[in-house]
Structure 1
Amino acid sequence: MKLKFLLTVIAILFAFSFCNASCKSNNERTPRQNNNSKMKITIGTAVFTATLYKKPSAAALKVMLPITVDMTELNGNEIYCDLPGRLPINSSVGGDIKVGDLMLYGNNVLVLFYKSFNTSYSYTKLGSIDNPAGLASTLGAGNVVVKFENN
């Protein structure tokens, strides 16, 4: 008797979980399919488009836009600036940094990488430039003024 009851409960739970996983409306699935948003980055006359990850830190950055900031060159591979506010963090060890990666160091330092390398520093990944061709030549000459805006 207990076995029959237990099997009935398991069957009901299985049916419920199966329907719950597969019977969602299109509106409920759409946010998962559209995981990224776009941002425009202007450096002088060069314009780049970046894809931001679906993360609280990237969403908080988008709320700050548009912003124009003076970015400082560092180590021949990145530019950075202090943001006017703090963003949520979810940092992890950087590992392989790629050209065009946009990251957060700490909770308020925005970093844009223009060369690939490996690092042991921790960053919160925000997104990356879709086509970073020409980014190194645009940024490699020193400090720059950069405008970040919604695309």
Structure 2
Amino acid sequence: MRILDTDDSQAWKGAWLATLMLLALSVSPLATAMDISSPPTGMENTTMWMTVGEQRFAISLEDNPATRELVARVPLNLDMTDLHNNEKYATLEQPLPTQEYSPGTIQTGDLLLYGSDTLVIFYKTFTSSYSYSRLGHIDNSTGLAEALGRKNVRVRFSAD
């Protein structure tokens, strides 16, 4: 067993003091005002817009690599195909990063990624055993099913 000499104990005291100062600063009102308590997320804008015909829907986005890459591609016009009378999908030209999970219940207004290249908008709530990557959710899905209709439709995704 090694006994700490004076120089070692002083170094540990300094490291401990620095750790305590960082902890105190991260929970202080100054940290809140300066927003230094958490690292930047990389998502400057967490809302994207979806336009179907004349109707416009705000989409609250998740903060993940797939949404950051999707936002970098907008504006994006997609011809979306109806599937099972509950969703519209379109295959993207380039794949997106994935973080798959099984939602169990898919909600009206969910914007999900199936596989790495299929963008899906759900206009009905139902249960599913499939896995998706979460991209976002339409803030107010009132009128979404009517806007998307039962046939194929052109949808525009934009940042504003």
Question: TM-score per shorter chain, which class?
Answer: 0.7 to 0.9
What SS class does the counterpart of residue 59 from structure 1 fall into? helix
The equivalent residue for 1:132 is 141
What letter matches 1:54 in structure 2?
Answer: D
Determine if contact 1:35/1:53 at 8 Å carries over to the other structure. no
Q: What CA distance in whole angstroms lies between the structure 2 residues aligned with 1:141 and 1:75?
A: 9
Aligned mate of 1:142, from 115, 131, 151? 151
Mapped pair 1:113 → 2:122: yes
Determine if contact 2:87/2:123 at 8 Å carries over to the other structure. yes
The equivalent residue for 1:28 is 36
The equivalent residue for 2:96 is 87
TM-score (norm 2): 0.79
What is the Cα deviation at residue 128 of structure 1?
0.7
What SS class does the counterpart of residue 36 from structure 2 fall into? helix
The equivalent residue for 1:38 is 47
What is the Cα deviation at residue 140 of structure 1?
3.1
Determine if contact 1:99/1:132 at 8 Å carries over to the other structure. yes
Determine if contact 2:26/2:36 at 8 Å carries over to the other structure. no
Q: What CA distance in whole angstroms lies between the structure 1 residues aligned with 2:82 and 2:96?
A: 22
What SS class does the counterpart of residue 58 from structure 2 fall into? strand
Aligned mate of 1:18, from 23, 37, 44? 23
TM-score (norm 1): 0.84
Listed as ranges, the gaps of 5+ residues in structure 2 are none
Q: Deviations over 1:68-109 (max 9, x none)?
A: 110000011100001121111101012111111000001110
Listed as ranges, the gaps of 5+ residues in structure 1 are none
Mapped pair 1:48 → 2:57: yes
Larger Rg: 2
Mapped pair 1:65 → 2:70: no
What SS class does the counterpart of residue 132 from structure 1 fall into? coil
User: CA 1:29–1:8 in structure 2 vs 1: closer, same or farther (change >3 Å)?
Assistant: closer
The percentage of counterpart residues that share the same residue type is 35
Q: Deviations over 1:120-148 (max 9, x none)?
A: 10000000111000001122321100010
Determine if contact 1:77/1:140 at 8 Å carries over to the other structure. no
Q: What is the aligned-residue RMSD (CA, Å)?
A: 2.8
